[in-house]
Structure 1
Amino acid sequence: MSWQMRVEHSTGYRYASPVLSSYNEARIIPQTGGGQVTLEATVRTEPAATLYRYWDYWGSQVTAFDLHGPHTELVVTGRSLVRTAAEPARPEPPSWEALRGDDVGDRYVEFLRPARFTPDHPELVAAGRELAAAHDPADFVLAVGDWVRERLTYRPGTTDVHTSATEAWKRGEGVCQDFAHLALVLMRAAGMPGRYVSGYLHPLADAAIGETVEGQSHAWVEGWFGDWWGFDPTNAVPAGERHVVVARGRDYDDVPPMRGVYSGGTSSSLGVTVNVTRLA
């Protein structure tokens, strides 16, 4: 069963001295596709700026803007109305032999190779291949999730957006993006294309209609075995009606909610808030 949700995402920065100019990109508009439909979407900035939208190489919608007047704070707020996709059925998987063939390898090469936050590591490569030897491709994704949760403790504040899968694995703790990064290393090592998904998660499976609650910026993975299938390794559930897809890529480096450069003093975060309301 699909849901309809309203999402409000706000993020901001404060600067030690006035910023004279800045150039920014925001990836906070949910995607349409794969059963998910974005019905409305707006982005507002304070100070106000002229906004430009484009789709990046990975198919994510980017809101770009620049500011050229002195300002000591920047707040970016995205509001969207989304009909989410119901939990998908797992595809009928091909054999590992077919999955590792040239056709798949050529088509999805970018989702099979290491990336900035999903580098190779001999022990992780061996673990991924060992799991693949014991499971067919569909069950392999679930086994990867189990393996990751046995080795990572969910603990906010112990890693940041620059932490790689290997670093989180060695620490034994992290947040959703670390769970997703570590899962992707194992999937790719086994020969399964895997991509990183960023978006939002409604925290309540039995959410009341019309009630606004604090949501979460979230990350999960999609594996390709005959078709793309989303799985949330942090929560051990398939990606479904509570998940709102915003961006996809090889790892976090392809999908940051905010990215920019500016001329001025040092910055500090005003924090990120995500509010979600189930409407249907």
Structure 2
Amino acid sequence: MVDSWRLKIQHKTGYDYAGPVSSSYNEARMWPRNGSRQAVLDARVEVWPPARTYRYEDYWGTVVTAFDVHAQHESLTVTATSTVETLPPGDLDPLSETSWTSSPSDNWYEFTLPTQRTRLNEELVEISADLRDKSGSPHEAALAVCDFVRSSVTYQPGATGVQSDALHAWEQRKGVCQDISHLTVGLLREMGLPARYVSGYLHPSPNAEIGESVIGQSHAWVEWWVGRWTAFDPTNGVPVGERHVVVGRGREYGDVPPLKGVYAGPASTGQGVEVTITRLR
């Protein structure tokens, strides 16, 4: 019998402003996705100041909660609460190994192109080619990329910001999960493998106590196509499993930011983020 986990996630984020804001228009991507390896049992997104929300799926299949606030306010808070059933790793081995001569489906063409955050320099292009040449198959090459990035770039919270890219992390040899995932995706695409950036949450403890609430993380990892999508967490060097909760997928962070919007008023004085995760079973 497969040992699933049940996780309750509360993700609270928002902005403080230097003075009254008259109106704001916002999108939140904080609603987990149903999928083959996770089931959303309950989810809700609450906004303060109160606002009417509506949901839709964007181009990449991520659930978006959209809302406008027209009451004057000096701060904005969005709280997403969800309960998700997750499964252990189960897709690390491809169903049928693809060869380098196989052409990826046109469905994944957009996941083969570089973006501003995943672009590489000449040195990284050569590294990608070398890793590919030394690997016996696309799947083996993808795992080699993950190992290379993890051994080359140190995970260091606060080392970069949301606007950073793969090259910045590579040049300073440190970054956060977002940077590590961007670099991994860039190297995979350079090899010709469709690869996508995944945004979600991670429970920090493999031996989580049931009922104990802990400080969790907004997290990022990658998926590549070798006959099916295969998920891996290059930051931690582990396959994606029961500790991971998927919220969205895209080409890079810019496709799946947890909260973005525009507003009329003074400058923002900062953004706060709190993620609390409880293992229910």
Instruction: Decide: shared fold, TM above 0.5.
Output: yes
Question: Which letter maps to 1:162?
Answer: Q
Q: Please tell me whether the aligned partners of residues 105 and 112 of structure 1 are also in contact (alpha carbons under 8 angstroms).
A: no
Match of 2:99 among 81, 95, 100: 95
Q: Please tell me whether the aligned partners of residues 18 and 267 of structure 2 are also in contact (alpha carbons under 8 angstroms).
A: yes
1:26-73 Cα deviation digits (max 9, x unpaired): 000000012211111000011000001000000000000001111001
- Asked if 1:120 is matched to 2:124, the reply is no
Deviation at 1:203, TM superposition (A): 0.4
What is the CA–CA distance in structure 1 between the aligned matches of 2:36 and 2:196, rounded to whole Å? 15
Aligned to 1:35: 37
What is the CA–CA distance in structure 2 between the aligned matches of 1:162 and 1:2, rounded to whole Å? 35
Question: Which letter maps to 2:100?
Answer: W
What is the CA–CA distance in structure 2 between the aligned matches of 1:270 and 1:198, rounded to whole Å? 18
Deviation at 1:270, TM superposition (A): 4.6
Q: Please tell me whether the aligned partners of residues 11 and 30 of structure 2 are also in contact (alpha carbons under 8 angstroms).
A: yes
What is the CA–CA distance in structure 2 between the aligned matches of 1:193 and 1:30, rounded to whole Å? 23
- Asked if 1:232 is matched to 2:236, the reply is no
Deviation at 1:85, TM superposition (A): 2.8
Question: Which letter maps to 1:192?
Answer: L
What is the CA–CA distance in structure 2 between the aligned matches of 1:107 and 1:151, rounded to whole Å? 32
What is the CA–CA distance in structure 2 between the aligned matches of 1:61 and 1:85, rounded to whole Å? 21
Deviation at 1:25, TM superposition (A): 0.3
Specify the SS of the correspondent of 2:145. Answer: helix
What is the CA–CA distance in structure 2 between the aligned matches of 1:65 and 1:205, rounded to whole Å? 36
Deviation at 1:105, TM superposition (A): 5.1
What is the CA–CA distance in structure 1 between the aligned matches of 2:32 and 2:86, rounded to whole Å? 10
Deviation at 1:108, TM superposition (A): 1.2
How many residues are aligned here? 276
Specify the SS of the correspondent of 2:167. Answer: helix
Runs of at least 5 residues in structure 2 that lack an aligned partner in the other structure: none
Specify the SS of the correspondent of 1:13. Answer: strand
- Asked if 1:57 is matched to 2:59, the reply is yes
Aligned to 2:152: 151
Aligned-residue identity in percent:
51
Specify the SS of the correspondent of 1:191. Answer: coil
Aligned to 1:5: 7
What is the CA–CA distance in structure 1 between the aligned matches of 2:236 and 2:43, rounded to whole Å? 27
TM-score by length of 1: 0.96
Question: Which letter maps to 1:116?
Answer: Q
Question: Which letter maps to 2:171?
Answer: K
Q: Please tell me whether the aligned partners of residues 120 and 166 of structure 2 are also in contact (alpha carbons under 8 angstroms).
A: no
- Asked if 1:194 is matched to 2:195, the reply is yes
Question: Which letter maps to 1:229?
Answer: T
Runs of at least 5 residues in structure 1 that lack an aligned partner in the other structure: none
Deviation at 1:188, TM superposition (A): 0.3
Question: Which letter maps to 2:99?
Answer: S
What is the CA–CA distance in structure 1 between the aligned matches of 2:21 and 2:266, rounded to whole Å? 7
Aligned to 2:242: 241
What is the CA–CA distance in structure 2 between the aligned matches of 1:137 and 1:130, rounded to whole Å? 13
Q: Please tell me whether the aligned partners of residues 34 and 85 of structure 1 are also in contact (alpha carbons under 8 angstroms).
A: no
1:70-126 Cα deviation digits (max 9, x unpaired): 10011100000101132023213211111xx2xx15221100000121113222122
Deviation at 1:158, TM superposition (A): 1.7
Alignment of 1:140-179 (within 5 A): 140-179=141-180
What is the CA–CA distance in structure 1 between the aligned matches of 2:125 and 2:44, rounded to whole Å? 42
Q: Please tell me whether the aligned partners of residues 86 and 242 of structure 2 are also in contact (alpha carbons under 8 angstroms).
A: yes
Off by >3 Å, runs of 4+ in structure 1: none
Match of 1:69 among 71, 81, 90: 71
